[in-house]
Structure 1
Amino acid sequence: MGPVAPVYVGRQSETDRLRMLAHRAAAGHGTAVLVEGEPGIGKTTLLDHLAADCAALGMRVLRGTAEDLEQRLPFAAIAACLGIGAATTDPDLVRVSGLLRGEEAFAQRLAAANHEFVLTEAILDLFDEWFARGPVAVLLDDAQWADRQSVVVLHRLGRGIEQQPLLLVVATRSAPRADVVDALERSLVSRGGRLLELAPLAPDDVLALTRDLLTADPGPRLAQLVATAGGNPMYVTELLAELAEKGALAREDGRVELVWDTDELAEGWVPPPLAELIVQRLGFLAPPVRDTLQTAAVFGRTVDLMELAEVLDRPVSELSEVAVAAVEAGVLTDTGTRLEFRQPLIREALIARVPPTVRAALHQRALRRVATGGERVGVERVAEHLLAGDALDARMTDWLTETADTLTVRAPAQAVTLLRRALDTAPDAARPRLRLQLIRALLWQGLHADAERLARVALAEGGDPAQEGALYWLLVQACYRRGRLRESLAAIDDALERAPLTEVERGRFHGFAAVCLCFLVRFDEARTAALRAVELGEATGDARTAGIGDFALALTYVVDGDLERAMAADDRAIAALAEGVQPDLQVDPYTLRGLCLMELDRLPDADRALATAIAANRDTGGAYLPIAHTLRARLLYLSGRWDDALIECEIGLDSPDLLGSAVRLRGIADLIAVHRGGAAPAAVGDAGYAHHSSRWARALTLESQQGPAAAFELLAPAWERAHGLEPRALVYRVCTDLARLAVAAGRPERARALADDIDALPAAHLRPSMAATARLCRGLADGDADLLLAAAADFQRAGWPLYEAGAYENAAEVLARRERPAQARQALDRALEIYGRLEAAADIARAEARLRQAGVRRGVRGPRKRPKHGWEALTETEQRVAALVAEGLSNPDIAAQLFLSRRTVQSHVSSILGKLQVTSRVELAVRAAERSAAQP
């Protein structure tokens, strides 16, 4: 009998279930499925049938397989699904493909984490574009070998899957597998994903499989033997193939029965384990085919005939014949775009027959061939051979030196390992350049301590004077990224004193020193360094040097409260850095512009500036991304768009946070939660609050528990200790609550002192919100209702509704105590109406209690709460997003129109679906059309 072809039986229930989910996804109800099972249980075959079903539904099918040799290669698994390779020409994939190749990564990104963030966002943008065109199926096999970055992409896809026409199916061995795959399973299941465990085939299904494979019923002895296969379809298939090769199967009376040449063989033969059985069956392949496949197996699951031809020094035509034979034997499969081993177990069995020394020799031979393969052979492929081979020779060291930057971006872990190995054996002449590249690779991978140590060693040993400036710059970066700003400044001083720097390099060192000095709250020194950077930048014609100097100058003006001069300096920085900001300069004039505009109470302008900053940082992985999200969350909090602010906090917390913005984001979320009657942050010691916003939120809760005096004592340090990058000119917002607590605690003089302090701040008269805060503090201290009502009007002009409501609440109490009940009730009603819009339940309760004590009660009808469901439940932003979704726009398109990020739009869409109680964008569009038709 000839080779036995694989067939598919016994999985009708699983097939039907997946087909149903595919239909739902095609209709806009996305879902995720994790298929688990032991090797050979049928996961790959199940995906084969599912892919055909999805294609028949008109879905875009993205099928890929993770490989064990690529677990350290970022985005390898998802790139396989996307079909990205060296010859990618699909215009949809141009940007993602370029990012995977690391094009201009060092010029635009700070580190691997930032680059990975940009790549992840680009891939998700691409999926959003595809979702707008039609349903998508992502089918990943052998996910137990998926790289961490691909798993993150799958996790992110799973987050918003319910609102997209997406079927995400991940097939994996039950064990062993990486921890990140277990984390992915938990993530997807927590969001409604299904877990599909492929159990062994039932006995009747095993007999049906045997019958289909043999095209005849099995005899009793054969049926008894296949029953020992544990219900594993691959085991059954391989067992029958082995028996066929041994001549132990014969057709008798319309059935196929087990026969042996001798009774001894029949009695003594026991089916071996699956892996051993595969090895035995491979022994029946023709020796040339088997030997060629063993070599191919060493190089990975995918079989590259051109690479194999170069390694074996045989023509491709000859190897094509081998490939045809291997496909016919069921060892290889032709996917239509490439050849690959049909099952990982087959490849593993072949590799096991190759001694480790021979494998290393094969990789060395491959190196000599593929290292000159140009763009057809990626640097990561060459690196795989280098890692699996012996020590690097001079030729491969030269190759590594020339390609280090590209390899560092594409496979940072491999780059660091190889550069370290090369540095250990390199001749003295090659060491300086290798060491410089290794330091860059260590910084890129986030190994800052190692980078600092190696940079100091290199500078101490000396070497090429032309590299000293670069080495000092890397040392400065390493210290800075470790949070050791004083060491950064010391390194800058050493560089300026000892290294043979160009004037451009000197200017950039001065500019970077200015930034460090700002963060160290040494603003006079920072201004001196910044002015020197501007001077050198203008003298040399280096716009970037002048730009970093102007940015640092602007920052010093902001903390001084001189926002007009800050804006002017920042505008110069934006103009100077128009071609882009080098990531290691650590500046972002767009985010600083947003801050200045917000502090000038120009909230719409600030919102647009921060949207620009977020988009720029998102596209480049900029370090200021979470700061831009923090400022935008603060703006949304001030302007009363609290649901939007919470989304901004959530997204900001998901961003790479190199500058410690998380505490500020959590503080804003804490404040919103407390105002809405939620839990406050846990009580800690006086010095234990990471940011004054969390202290503020805790103080508001403490007021209701222990009274205003205790709350005042907790909150007062937020104002009294304000300094540095968060001076009183930026922290004065706490004074409205601080003054109210002071007066309630019987200390009106403290409220009056607050008003005096605020009036003394620079340019207070130019900022409506600051003038309003001073009026409110003074009005509370003096019991002056007119001042409080004037403050309310000022806060309205500034666009701060919570503060406007607070001013009306305070005015209402003063008016009530002055026996002006009608005016008091009018002010109270205005306060409660605004609090109601904000859903500020805690503020409503406090205002009502204060006015009851003063003898004023509101009418029976309180502020109308926003419904929890239906169109009226949507915020203003959500209504705009819903309208654009109904028009068929993708999330990136909506983001571009509304100056939002794609993630923000995704969060809004999830909220909209929940409030309208629909489960897909399609249903949302139908509801919107019905609503539009019903309106006159």
Structure 2
Amino acid sequence: MNVMVDSPVLVGRDAELARLAAAARAAVAGQGGAVLVVGESGIGKTTLLDAAAAHCRDLGMRVHRGAAEDLEQEIPFSTLAACLGIGPASPDPDLAPLSALLRGEDVFAHGVDAANHEYAIGEAVLGLADTWTAARPLALIVDDLQWADTATVRVLDRLADGLAAIPLLLVLAKRAVDRSGEVAAFWYCLLDRGAAQLRLDPLPADAVADQVTALVGAPPGPRLRQLLDGAAGNPLYVRELVTALRDEHAVHLTDGCAELGERAWGELPGSLVGVIGRRLDALPGPIRDALRTAAVLGGSVSEAELAKVLGSPPEEISAALGLAARGGLVTTGRRPRFRHALICEVLAAQVPATVRAALHVRGARVLAGRSASVTRVAEQLAQGGTVEPAMRDWLAGHARTLIARAPGLAVQLLRRALTAADPARTAELRLHLVRALLWHGELDAAEREARQALTAAPAADRAALYWLLAQSCYRQGRITDALAVVDTAVADPEVAEDRRGRLHGFAAVAKMFQVRIEDAAADARQALALGTATGDQHTLGLGELAMSAVTMMRGDVPGGLELARRAQSRLGHGVLPDLQVEPDATVAYCLIGLDRLAEADEALAVAADRNRRTGSVYLAFTHRLRAAVRFLDGRWDDALVEIQTGLESADPLREAGRLRGLAEVISVHRGGTAEVAAATVAEQPDAVYEGGDQSFTRWAYALTQEASVGPAEALRLLLPVWDQAGGIFPRRVVYRVCPDLARMAAACGAHARLVQLVAEVEQVGGAEPCHSLRATAQLCRAFATDDAELMRAAAASYAEAGWRLCEGYAHENAGVLLARAGQPGPARDEVDRALAIYELLDAAWDAGRAGARLREAGVRRGVKGRRGRPKHGWAALTDTEHRVALLVAEGMSNPEIAARMFLSRRTVQSHVSSILAKLQISSRVELAVVAARQDSAPG
């Protein structure tokens, strides 16, 4: 009997396929979801995914399908790249930016470590998904998830977080094995989020009969049915058994049935592996050898590569693989793949361990000689055990690329290479190892290796090693040790002047964080001098950027802005990521200090976009500054979105505390709580204040205490923010707490402290009276002198500065002062102006306080009441949300909306989530319908 269908046949899975089809239809309708397929090897997961992919294509969905590979688990995003079809010959222009990120192009110029780079890749993937789903529904189908690399799992987790609102179907399959780790945690997390799980059980007897009929063209007879009972309903087991019986001519047609012949097996092999092994053992030697070698080298080996490893003519290998393909073992094509991973595993297990290692070493050598990708060569090297001299040379020449693409694998191979490296290569390999460890986040190991390397480093490597050693100390929080390394480096005659200049720039920044302002200025001047002497623009830019920060800390914000702009022009839009400074964000910081909020927002849009694309370390920092701008100018809902985006970003600079603190300041003003702030301050004995990092937290807690305990306690808590200001948080930065300090001091009768505050604020603003500083000085003096007209002037100055909350404060305080002076009409007018601002901010606590203070002063407002914005419906949307909603309705993707509105993709996503919640809908399709109704509504 020679008739045999080679491709897998799907039988007995109608219910599972129906559930997948329903999920696909839901995604097409705009409501995405995840379906998880689990089952033992050979149970039919891949065949079911094939059918699901075909169904999705029939529905008009864009389909990306791939599988994880066992050998590629150490290569970040390898599974994702396979699923999206990213490779050297990928024709899709949409994938070009992501492909460049995966190759690690310019990665060391922007990122501080692999985690940040992975975050940037994740952002690119999510942006791509947004773009694709805006054009048509998308299905991402991943098989063999149990072998997925960690980076792919993490980005899939991020992608799955917002599935319900976009037309995206995520289908994942894995073996039914109980394992801990990232894949298991992700799987359970998806189930908690409501993903559907399809557990593939053994096929019933009638389904097995249907499979045999599909395979051989006739139903099984009684004897064959009895033998197949031992396959336990496993489709691959059935297929391999029937194929083996066919190959041994043990099945024939009798009375329209497929039946066992006289020479059939006496008994069934005890397992699926046994059946596969028996079938493979029957193959001719050349075919078996080719398949075993292919199995050892992994699924991506080509015919030509396989021929080179085996030392056989290419035509022989092609013929052998052709026969294997006709037997249903592999697919056809330039890179044949095994039809089932279990076949590959059985073949590889038949090769002794020492032979497998030798094949991997030879495979690495062949791939390197054919200029294969760095990761493919490294995969083979990692499995080979030893790094021979020729491959040590290859590793040294390709180390930077490998570090960028797969730092963990780079560390493993470099360490292995160093155990047998000749002295000529040792120094070079050790320098690469230090860089790999630092990039991989193994800071203490990087420090140890750097110190050891410096004991015998050639002159050409010393500057780089000093720099890496200083960074390893710095990132562990040991600034003093990092500065000691700098001192040693700048005294080393082997370190060139331009490198010494950059080290001085680094020292200037480090000393600022130690609040050693004058020492920081001295190092900045050294960097500028060396940059001028060498003409090195990078050194000059670092010196100017460091001096800009010093100048700002001294209170000269215009001077700081001028220096920052100079640095920006020299550095373009990039800087060594090891320094906690960034040109565009530094410029924006100065502009905020000068009340040039719109200009600051533009600079921050550029900085946030670049940091997101490159994985730079300042992303959360730029979102905090964007939130600060929106807090000042009254866009509080947008500020909260920026805060949330910052909290969801990579955060090596530890901005999370400041972001949460600002969120709680807004929460208190809106009548909410400040639980994090309360817990933080409660942990500090005797209300110890630990510096500017906690200024927002302390501010939020003081406001809650003002409401619950009284102004005296609030003043006690908030005063340290002002009294202890200095270093990187000088009074020129933290003066925004002074309006609250002045109100608290006046309310609790602390007149002497209020008068002192007036003098201090006027001193800060004396040399450079920007609108907000002038307004703050006017407000404080008006409190001290009960001068209503001066308080009105403060309101006008705050309006010019764009500080909406403080403008409301000034109107409120003017109203109270006028009421106390017996002018009820003007008092009501001023408080009404304040309440109008508070209503725009949704500042319920401030509105309640203003009304109560006016009543205490003997003035009633009448029947006027605060309306506030509704919580649900179209009218509940903020101005920004309204614009986003209309752009979504036009069919624009999140990245397109982000580009149009100068926001980040994640910020737009947060706005979309808020819009859907306020409109009480669940998808972008429904949003388009609601928006269309609004356009067609009368009036």
CA distance in 2, matches of 1:665, 1:493: 35
Residue pair 2:689, 2:720 contacting (<8 A) in 1 also: no
Structure 2 distance, partners of 1:707, 1:579, is 48
Aligned counterpart, 1:361:
358
Aligned to 1:811: 814
**Partner of 1:825 in structure 2?**
828
Residue 59 of structure 2: which of 57, 60, 81 is its match? Answer: 57
Alignment correspondent of 1:311: 309
Q: TM-score, normalised by structure 1?
A: 0.94
How far off its partner does 1:730 sit?
0.8
Partner of 2:122: 120
Deviations 1:873-927 (A, max 9, x none): 1111112222222333322222122111111112212222332334333333343
Per the alignment, residue 218 of structure 1 pairs with: 220
Moved more, 272-281 or 511-520: 272-281
CA–CA separation in structure 1 for the residues paired with 2:567 and 2:287 = 65
Partner of 1:413: 408
Question: 1:150 Cα deviation (Å)?
Answer: 1.2
Residue 446 of structure 1: aligned partner:
441
Deviation at 1:202, TM superposition (A): 3.9
SS at match of 1:534: helix
- Tell me the equivalent position of 1:15: 17
- Tell me what 1:722 maps to: 725
Q: 1:21 to 1:822 in 2, by over 3 A?
A: same
More off after superposition, 212-221 vs 69-78: 212-221
Match for residue 50 of structure 2? 48
Q: Is the 8 A contact 1:4 1:237 kept in 2?
A: no
Deviation sequence 1:638-670 (CA, Å, 0-9, x none): 122122112211221222222221211111112
> 1:726 deviation in Å?
0.7
SS in 2 for 1:302: coil
Q: State the distance in 1 between where 2:197 and 2:825 align.
A: 64
Q: Secondary structure at the match of 1:425?
A: coil
- Any idea what the Cα deviations from partners look like across 1:558-611, whole Å, max 9, x if unmatched? 111101111111111111112742334543121011111111111111111111
Shift of residue 841, structure 1, vs aligned partner: 2.5
Paired AA for residue 405 in structure 2: R
**Structure 1 residue aligned with 2:370:** 373
Residue 735 of structure 2 aligns to a residue whose secondary structure is helix
Helix, strand or coil for the counterpart of 1:651?
helix
User: Do the aligned partners of 1:88 and 1:97 also contact (CA within 8 Å) in 2?
Assistant: no
Verify: 1:468 aligned to 2:462, yes or no. Answer: yes
Residue in 2 that maps onto 1:589: 583
Distance 1:582 1:769, change over 3 A: same
Structure 1 window deviating more from structure 2 (384-393 vs 397-406): it is 384-393
Aligned: 1:333 with 2:365: no
| Post-superposition CA distance 1:835-883 (Å, at most 9, x none) | 2222222323333343444444444442222122222211111122222
Residues 804 and 259 of structure 1: CA distance in aligned 2, closer, same or farther (over 3 Å): same
The alignment status of 1:731 with 2:730, answered yes or no, reads: no
Residue equivalent to 1:750 = 753
1 CA distance for matches of 2:936 and 2:436? 60
**Per-residue deviation at 1:205?**
3.0
User: Could you tell me whether the CA contact under 8 Å between 1:805 and 1:835 is conserved in 2?
Assistant: yes
Distance 2:32 2:482 in 1: 50
Matched, 1:834 2:837: yes
Q: Distance in 2 between matches of 1:596 and 1:59?
A: 48
- Aligned ranges for residues 90-101 of structure 1 at < 5 Å? 90-101=92-103
Counterpart of 2:871 (choices 868, 892, 910) is: 868
Secondary structure at 2:337's aligned position in 1?
Answer: strand
Is the CA contact (8 Å cut-off) linking 2:227 and 2:268 kept in structure 1? no
1:140 deviates by 0.8
**Whole-angstrom CA distance in 2 between matches of 1:189 and 1:790:** 59
1:437 paired residue number: 432
Find the partner of 2:294 among 293, 296, 299: 296
1:483 aligned residue: 477
Q: Which residue of 1 aligns with 2:489?
A: 495
Other structure's SS at 1:742 match: helix
Alignment match of 2:851 (pick from 828, 838, 848): 848
| 1:347 aligns to 2:326 (yes or no) | no
- What CA distance in whole angstroms lies between the structure 2 residues aligned with 1:807 and 1:204? 82
- Contact 1:416–1:441 (Cα < 8 Å) also in 2: yes
Hey, what does 2:540 align to over in structure 1? Answer: 546
- How far has the Cα of 1:731 moved from its partner? 0.8
Structure 2 counterpart of 1:669: 663
1:158-190 deviation per Cα after TM superposition (whole angstroms, max 9, x unaligned): 233333332221112232456222333344445
- Write the letter of the residue equivalent to 1:793: A
Which amino acid counterpart does residue 386 of structure 1 have in structure 2? L
Distance between the aligned counterparts of 1:691 and 1:326, measured in 2?
A: 68
Mapping 1:208-247, distance limit 5 Å: 208-245=210-247
Q: In the alignment, is the contact (CA less than 8 A) between 1:301 and 1:344 conserved in 2?
A: no
CA contact (8 A) 1:601 1:798 kept: yes
**More divergent stretch after superposition (101-110 vs 70-79):** 101-110
Stretches of structure 2 that go unaligned for 5 or more consecutive residues are: none
Local SS of the residue matching 2:64: strand
The CA deviation string for residues 762-817 of structure 1, in whole angstroms up to 9 with x for no partner, is 44662222222222233333333333332222222221222222223333333333
Contact 1:764–1:770 (8 Å) recurs in 2? no
Q: Does the CA contact (< 8 Å) of 2:722 and 2:731 recur in 1?
A: yes
Kindly provide the amino acid, as one letter, of the partner of residue 555 in structure 1. Answer: A
Amino acid paired to 1:86? P
Q: Secondary structure at the match of 1:760?
A: helix
3-state SS of the aligned residue for 1:217? coil
Distance 1:868 1:235 in 2: 59
- Tell me, in whole angstroms, the C-alpha distance in 2 between the residues paired with 1:190 and 1:876: 34
Aligned to 1:149: 151
1:227 Cα deviation after fit: 4.1
Partners of 1:495 and 1:839 lie apart in 2 by 55
Q: Decide whether the 8 Å contact of 1:839 with 1:865 is kept in 2.
A: yes
Measure how far apart 1:736 and its partner are: 1.8
Which residue matches 1:782?
Answer: 785
Shift in Å, 1:480: 1.9
Alpha-carbon offset, residue 544 of structure 1: 1.0
Pair 1:792 & 2:795 matched:
yes
Selected match of 2:922 from 915, 919, 924: 919
2:404 is equivalent to residue 401 of structure 1:
no
Pair 848,229 (structure 1): closer, same or farther in 2 beyond 3 Å: farther
The structure 1 residue matched to 2:501, chosen from 477, 491, 507, is 507
The alignment partner of 2:617 has SS state of coil
Equivalent pair of 1:302/1:341 in contact (CA under 8 Å)? no
Q: 1:83-94, aligned counterparts within 5 Å?
A: 83-94=85-96
Q: For the Cα contact (< 8 Å) 1:142–1:171, is it kept in 2?
A: yes
Q: Would the aligned equivalents of 1:298 and 1:359 in 2 still touch at CA under 8 Å?
A: yes
CA displacement 1:73-96 (0-9 Å, x = unmatched): 011011001111233343222222
1:563 corresponding residue in structure 2:
557
**For 1:191 and 1:643, how far apart are their aligned partners in 2?**
26
Q: What SS does the aligned partner of 1:825 have?
A: helix
Q: Aligned-pair RMSD on alpha carbons?
A: 2.4
**1:852 to 1:866, Cα distance in 2 relative to 1, 3 A:** same
Match of 1:521 in 2: 515
Residue number among 64, 70, 73 corresponding to 2:72 in the alignment:
70
Shift, 1:228, TM fit = 4.6
Corresponding letter in the other structure for 1:712: L
- Asked whether the equivalents of residues 117 and 616 of structure 2 are also in contact (C-alpha less than 8 Å), the reply is no
Give the percent of matched residue pairs that are identical in Structure 1 and Structure 2.
51
Change (3 A) 1:227 1:763: farther
* C-alpha separation in 1, matches of 2:797 and 2:260: 95
Could you say if the C-alpha distance between residues 147 and 421 of structure 1 is closer, same or farther in structure 2, counting changes exceeding 3 Å? same
Cα distance per residue 1:507-551 (max 9 Å; x no partner): 212222111122211111111211221122122211111110000
